[in-house]
Chain A
Amino acid sequence: MGVFSLLADFHSFPIVLVLFYLNFIDVKNRTYLKIAFFSIGTLVFLILPLTNPRFTSYLFKQSLLNYVLPKSYDYLLQERMSYGQVRKTPLIIQGVNFSRLAFNKPHYTLDNTIKFLLTTLDLDKLSSGLMAQSTVSRDNNLSDLFPKIFLWQYPLIIFGLLLAISKIKNPYRTFFFALFLPPLFFGDRYLIFTLPTIALSCALAIYTFIKVQNHKLMKLTISTVFFFLMIASTLSSLDIFLFHWDTWIPEQDLRQFQIWKTLSDKEITTQKITVTDRFGEPAFYYLYYLKVNPSDFLETSKDIKEISPGVQRINSIANLYFRSFKYYESDRKPDQIWIGLAGEFSREAGSYGQVSTVVDGEIYKKIGSVKSGDKRLGDELWFVRTVFNKL
């Protein structure tokens, strides 16, 4: 199963290593052949993928190592050192820079290691953007707003984990906690591996709460409270999932959905359309939403460039162009469609809401409350059709 796990997602390898270790302990009284089989099997599956330099580089970038090696913080260290040169500081005395005591590799390595491990424990991010807010408004880590863990589960999870230390016996206990290793090594994106641990901790806590009660009435009351919490939370989440997806869907997915559902088939096939690439890569959304025949795509997409090794970018497909633009400086022709943020059309920063026309064009649709991440570009997505006054 470990092998299948590795094949499915290599980030599971810390768990597989633990599994291997547990197996090794288990089989140590058995034949050497079995030990050899397990050892070689696991090592092959661990080492083989690592022979691919692109894969190892990817894995490295994803892991804790990427954050704790000097190249990840060297620029920060130098930046902070340079501030001391700009501003008079008592830490530089007669040419001796005492700030070196803080701005050094051991400090930053220790600091970054702990901070990387801590990213996994962001309770705000783990719960939901609907339930929780970010500590500081400048944080942009709540883009995926759909609930992951309900707030009322937190105490249960913590209590359950504490119970698991004493209640669950080895080797299951080791495996139980080993599921935390992928997020610790590769960051909070791999918290999915901990799902069984979280669910079991929760269940263990609830079970213990009910079990320790002496009176049936108390048992019934606690069961009912948890039952209602579960039902209410599940139904509420389900409703948000089915009917309010615009509140939790990542911004760029939502905006691309709106763009490609607004444009008609006729417009797409007959008019030159320029779509801003400030919401991800529009080409892939176009291919998906318009269900483009792959052979047609291969024929019509000529403008594909490699922007970094192994990463390609589609700049245009047929009469569709994907790039950010300054409409007022662009070469405009009649009957074109331009889709972009307000700031890409107009220089009226701060009052885009009052703008209804642009040079040589009409705004035929505006979508508000867009999170552009840049105040100058405004918070509106505009659909503009070029119209030239006939002289």
Chain B
Amino acid sequence: MKNNISVLLLVIAVLGGTALRLIGLSDSPPSLNWDEAALGYNAYSISETGRDEYGEFFPIFTRSFDDYKSAIPIYFMIPSIRIFGLNEFGVRFPSVILGIINIAIIFLLVFKITESGLAGLSSSFALSIEPWAVHYSRTFHEATTALFFFIVGWLMFIYSKKKNYLLPISMFSFLLSLYTYHSNKLIVPLFLGILFLFNRRLILTYPKKILASTILVLVGLVIPFIFFAFSGQAFARAGSTNIFIMWQAETKGLRNNHLLPPIISHLIHNDTYYFLQAFFGRYLSYFSPTNLFLKEPPENALAGNSLFNSFEFVGWLTGLLIILKKGSRLKELIALMLISPIPAALTWNWFQPTRSLTLLLVFSIAIGIGLEKIIRTVLYLCQESRYLKILLSGGLISLLAFIYISWAVYILDSTLVYLPLRDSGQWQPGFRETVPIIYQFSQKYDQVIIETPHAQPYIFYLLYSQYPPNEYLKQLDLKKIGNPRKHYDFGKFKFRKIYWPEDRNLQKTLFVGNDFNLPTSDIDSQPGAKVVTQIMGLDGYIAAKVVSKE
């Protein structure tokens, strides 16, 4: 394919992907989620004070909800928040940018791996409209940033075979990925080992200076990581999500209630066998076509879409067969495909795509390779006849154009219309609408009591009120909040259950709750109490009821 046509098509893919990622970014998903809010406020806090919400000076890992998130995505977010402000757009914009860059990078990556521009373009077009890629670009998640560093690292590694000086940059990028997201803490070391194993002879021929600087980068970043691992920060999340809670989960029940002797019962329902089964079941679920192309993933994230578009299944299957057939040429890709689900399979969730974004990227590459094969096969079949070639290639281009536009519009509609209507409840609705109003009212009262049906709503109050970080840090008492954190109050804001029969006696207090804990009839009969305002949510129901008690 001619270079200028390739560039033009790549630009179309990037523009298409940009539109899907950028249009209506502030409104869909309808509100920030917990993690986005936490990362956003910490970015705001660091940009204002140099410290995170716990007072840590330019941290590498931030404590957040005791899950010790990587702070690297936070630093990515700072410029965006400075430019666009502390709001949905400011928080999500860096993710959009990374998602768009990924469309271009995947072209280069597939082009380098397969030496086919058409395969690269197919992957780029696929990635630009894949529901998983659109979703993870429209929300800010550490996994997206980690994926970006991972792809850059791999691409730089491939390029370093000709331009050796790129090797340290590649390692740096890989290690940033390792720092950024939990799954990559396992995938990156494994993949680096594989890359070294497959390319050891070539790497050892690199100039010594480059090898030395690469080792320096590796040591310089791995040693602090080991320190963080021992301090419990780097692997804090693994403690609460690991698969080991499944140990004996099935077998205990099965061994009871029958007459077999215990030793036979233990042999038949063997703990290790069942545990391995639990692991491999999870591992294989990431390869199940129905999970990838048919079902909606957990948590209603994609509103009517599965991770991949159904039409991509044909390309996926063809691509996988080609990858397996070309085993020795694409061994790095095969290895990455095999190791990518391991971290996700080591957690108790059955299928959690966020933990296996690297695998989804490999599948996007496979889809590109498969689509390329299909296109080439059709063109090959009609090479004998000029008219047939014009007819078939015209038909094929029309079909592909229809599929691309149709599915792109479908995803756009799912994102902008269907998601806010059907799944706004999954996105902590109401905080964006209520907090600025409550913050405004709060000036006249001594305290604001906020009913807490969910954990940690404090972060939304910090974010949507743009609470001055300096002020927050002054009030911060690490001993009082405890570890794990139990206390979330700050300034006038108190987060607890409202019990009206007792709380109605409080003076100069603002209550934020709902119809159940602030019943209108009781409030009307209480002297000094009145409903200040009721804030409606996107779904048409009352998102918050604000009651004042003078």
Contact = CB atoms under 8 A, between A and B. Distances in A.
A133 B350 CA distance: 6
A29 B269 CA distance: 58
Contact of A152 (B268, B280, B324, B350): B280
Contacts of B412: 91, 102
Interface in A80-106: 80, 83-84, 86-87, 89-91, 98-99, 101-104, 106
Given A83-B418, A134-B350, A236-B269, A114 B293 contact: yes
Interface stretch (A12-20, A46-54, A238-246): A238-246
Interface in B186-204: none
A100 B186 CA distance: 45
Interface in A96-148: 98-99, 101-104, 106-107, 110-111, 114-115, 118-119, 121-125, 127, 130-137, 139
B410 interface: yes
A123 to B, nearest CB: 4
A135 B293 contact: no
Interface stretch (B118-126, B360-368, B400-408): B400-408
B212 interface: no
Contact of B413 (A89, A114, A122, A134): A89
Interface in B232-283: 250, 253-254, 257-258, 260, 267-270, 273, 277, 280-281
A235 interface: yes
Interface in A232-269: 232, 235-236, 239-240, 243-244, 247
Given A90-B23, A118-B310, A119-B294, A239 B254 contact: yes
Contacts of A244: 254, 257-258
Interface of A: 80, 83-84, 86-87, 89-91, 98-99, 101-104, 106-107, 110-111, 114-115, 118-119, 121-125, 127, 130-137, 139, 151-152, 154, 162, 232, 235-236, 239-240, 243-244, 247
B489 interface: no
B301 to A, nearest CB: 11
Nearest to B321: A162
19 contacts: A80-B304, A80-B417, A83-B413, A83-B421, A99-B409, A101-B406, A102-B413, A103-B410, A107-B410, A121-B289, A121-B290, A123-B291, A124-B281, A124-B288, A132-B281, A232-B268, A239-B268, A243-B260, A244-B258
Nearest to B538: A87
Given A83-B418, A136-B295, A239-B268, 5 more contacts: A118-B294, A118-B310, A134-B350, A135-B291, A235-B267
B430 interface: no
A103 B293 CA distance: 19
B257 A98 contact: no
B269 A239 contact: yes
B287 interface: yes
A73 to B, nearest CB: 13
B433 interface: no
Nearest to A236: B268
A123 B290 CA distance: 8
Given A83-B418, A240-B254, A151 B284 contact: yes
Interface size class of B (residues with CB under 8 A): 35 or more
Contacts of A162: 321, 324
A204 B281 CA distance: 23
A111 B406 CA distance: 11
Nearest to A228: B273
B433 to A, nearest CB: 16
Given A115-B293, A134-B350, A239-B260, A101 B409 contact: yes
B257 A123 contact: no
B297 A127 contact: no
A131 B254 contact: no
B288 A91 contact: no
B273 A232 contact: yes
A122 B409 CA distance: 28
A223 B406 CA distance: 51
B268 A86 contact: no
Contacts of B281: 124, 127, 131-133, 151
Contacts, number: 146
Contact of A136 (B297, B313, B418): B297
Interface string B284-312: 11011111011111100000100000110
A178 B310 CA distance: 24
Given A80-B418, A84-B413, A152-B280, A132 B254 contact: no
Contacts of A119: 290, 294
Contacts of B298: 135-137
Dominant SS at the B interface? helix
B405 A101 contact: yes
A122 B288 contact: yes
Contacts of A99: 409, 413, 417
Contacts of A151: 277, 280-281, 284
A56 B205 CA distance: 71
A125 B351 CA distance: 14
A89 B407 contact: no
A87 B417 contact: yes
Contacts of A125: 290
Given A83-B417, A124-B290, A235-B268, A132 B313 contact: no
B420 interface: yes
A70 to B, nearest CB: 16
B277 A86 contact: no
A139 B405 CA distance: 30
A114 B313 CA distance: 8
Nearest to A155: B284
Contacts of B402: 106
Contacts of B258: 239, 243-244
B297 to A, nearest CB: 7
A123 B281 CA distance: 9
B273 A236 contact: yes
Contacts of B436: none
B269 A89 contact: no
A121 B288 contact: yes
B59 interface: no
Contacts of B280: 151-152
B288 to A, nearest CB: 4
A90 B416 CA distance: 8
Contacts of A101: 405-406, 409
B537 to A, nearest CB: 14
B16 interface: no
B457 interface: no
Nearest to B413: A99
B24 interface: yes
Contacts of B273: 232, 236
Given A89-B413, A118-B293, A232 B270 contact: yes
Contacts of A107: 406-407, 410
Contact of A122 (B24, B267, B290): B290
A89 B416 contact: yes
A32 B492 CA distance: 96
A135 B417 contact: no
Central interface residue in A98, A121, A135, A243, by most chain B CB within 10 Å: A135
B289 A118 contact: yes
Contacts of B268: 232, 235-236, 239
Contacts of B416: 87, 89-91
Given A86-B421, A87-B420, A102-B409, A136 B296 contact: yes
Interface string B193-235: 0000000000000000000000000000000000000000000
B287 A123 contact: yes
Contacts of A98: 409
Nearest to A111: B310
A232 B268 CA distance: 6
A119 B350 CA distance: 19
B310 A123 contact: no
Q: Which 7 A-B pairs have the closest CB atoms?
A: A102-B410, A123-B288, A102-B409, A243-B258, A133-B350, A122-B290, A114-B310
A244 B253 CA distance: 9
Interface in B314-330: 314, 321, 324
